[in-house]
Chains A and B, each alone.
Chain A
Amino acid sequence: MDRIIDWTARVIAAVAVATSVFMTGVILVSVVMRYIVGAPLAFGEELVGLAFAGIVFLMLPYCEYTGQNIRITLLVERYPPALRRVADAVARLLTAFFCLAFAWLSYDFTATSYQWEVRTLVANLIAWPWMAIMPVGMVLTVIVTLWLIRRPLNSSPTAGEIGDLDAMKLDPVESRP
Chain B
Amino acid sequence: AENEWRMHMVISDTREEAKYVKEFVDEVNERSNGDLEITLYPSASLGIKDVDLIRILPPGNAVQAALIAPGYMARDVPELAYTIAFGSVPTRAKLVELYPLLHEIYGGIYARYDTVLLGFVSNQLSTVEVFCKEPINTLEELRSKKLRVSDKFSVDLWAKLGVSAQIIGQYDLYVAMSTGVVDCAQHLIGMSLDISLHEVAPYAAYITPYNVPPWGIVASKRAFDKLKPETQAMLFEVGEKIGLESAEPFLSGSHNDAISAEAIAAGVKVVEPFSEADQKAYRDAALEIWEAKMRSLGESATANYEKIHAMAH
Q: Check if A and B associate.
A: yes
A121 touches B75 (CB 8 A): yes
- Is A88 located at the chain interface by the 8 A CB criterion? no
Minimum Cβ distance to chain A for residue B171 (Å): 13
Bound-state CA distance A109–B77 (Å) is 15
- Is A40 located at the chain interface by the 8 A CB criterion? yes
For B151, give its contact among A45, A120, A121, A127 (CB under 8 Å). Answer: A121
For B167, give its contact among A45, A113, A120 (CB under 8 Å). Answer: A45
For A40, give its contact among B74, B75, B77, B166 (CB under 8 Å). Answer: B166
Bound-state CA distance A109–B169 (Å) is 25
For B164, give its contact among A39, A45, A122 (CB under 8 Å). Answer: A39
- Is A69 located at the chain interface by the 8 A CB criterion? no
A42 touches B152 (CB 8 A): yes
**B-contacting residues, A121-136, CB 8 Å:** 121-122, 127
Number of A-B contacts (CB under 8 A): 36
A122 touches B167 (CB 8 A): yes
Bound-state CA distance A116–B76 (Å) is 7
Minimum Cβ distance to chain A for residue B180 (Å): 11
Bound-state CA distance A18–B56 (Å) is 34
A112 touches B155 (CB 8 A): no
- Is A38 located at the chain interface by the 8 A CB criterion? yes
Bound-state CA distance A76–B76 (Å) is 46
- Enumerate chain B residues within 8 angstroms of A122, measured Cβ to Cβ: 151-152, 155, 167
- Enumerate chain B residues within 8 angstroms of A29, measured Cβ to Cβ: none
B75 touches A34 (CB 8 A): no
- Is B175 located at the chain interface by the 8 A CB criterion? no
- Enumerate chain A residues within 8 angstroms of B169, measured Cβ to Cβ: 45
Using CB atoms, name the residue of chain B closest to A46.
B167
Q: Is the interface of A mostly helix, strand, loop or mixed?
A: loop
- Is B31 located at the chain interface by the 8 A CB criterion? no
Map CB proximity to B onto A137-164 as digits: 1 under 8 Å, 0 otherwise: 0000000000000000000000000000
For A34, give its contact among B74, B77, B78, B166 (CB under 8 Å). Answer: B166
- Is B226 located at the chain interface by the 8 A CB criterion? no
- Is A72 located at the chain interface by the 8 A CB criterion? no
- Given the interface pairs A42-B166, A45-B167, A122-B152, the reply to whether A127 lies near B75 with Cβ below 8 Å is yes
- Enumerate chain B residues within 8 angstroms of A42, measured Cβ to Cβ: 152, 155, 166-167
Map CB proximity to B onto A37-79 as digits: 1 under 8 Å, 0 otherwise: 1111010010000000000000000000000000000000000
A120 touches B166 (CB 8 A): no
B166 touches A39 (CB 8 A): yes
Minimum Cβ distance to chain B for residue A50 (Å): 12
- Is B146 located at the chain interface by the 8 A CB criterion? yes
- Is A165 located at the chain interface by the 8 A CB criterion? no
- Given the interface pairs A112-B55, A121-B151, A121-B152, the reply to whether A38 lies near B146 with Cβ below 8 Å is yes
Bound-state CA distance A131–B181 (Å) is 31
- Is A118 located at the chain interface by the 8 A CB criterion? yes
- Is B68 located at the chain interface by the 8 A CB criterion? no
- Enumerate chain A residues within 8 angstroms of B151, measured Cβ to Cβ: 121-122
Using CB atoms, name the residue of chain A closest to B169.
A45
Bound-state CA distance A22–B166 (Å) is 21
**Can you name 28 A-B pairs with beta carbons within 8 Å?**
A34-B146, A34-B166, A34-B181, A37-B164, A38-B164, A39-B146, A39-B164, A39-B165, A39-B166, A40-B166, A42-B152, A42-B155, A42-B166, A42-B167, A45-B167, A45-B169, A113-B76, A116-B76, A118-B76, A119-B75, A119-B78, A120-B75, A121-B151, A122-B151, A122-B152, A122-B155, A122-B167, A127-B75
7 additional contacts (CB under 8 A) given A34-B166, A121-B152: A37-B164, A116-B77, A119-B75, A121-B75, A121-B151, A122-B152, A122-B167
| A interface residues (Cβ-Cβ under 8 A, vs B) | 34, 37-40, 42, 45, 109, 112-113, 116, 118-122, 127
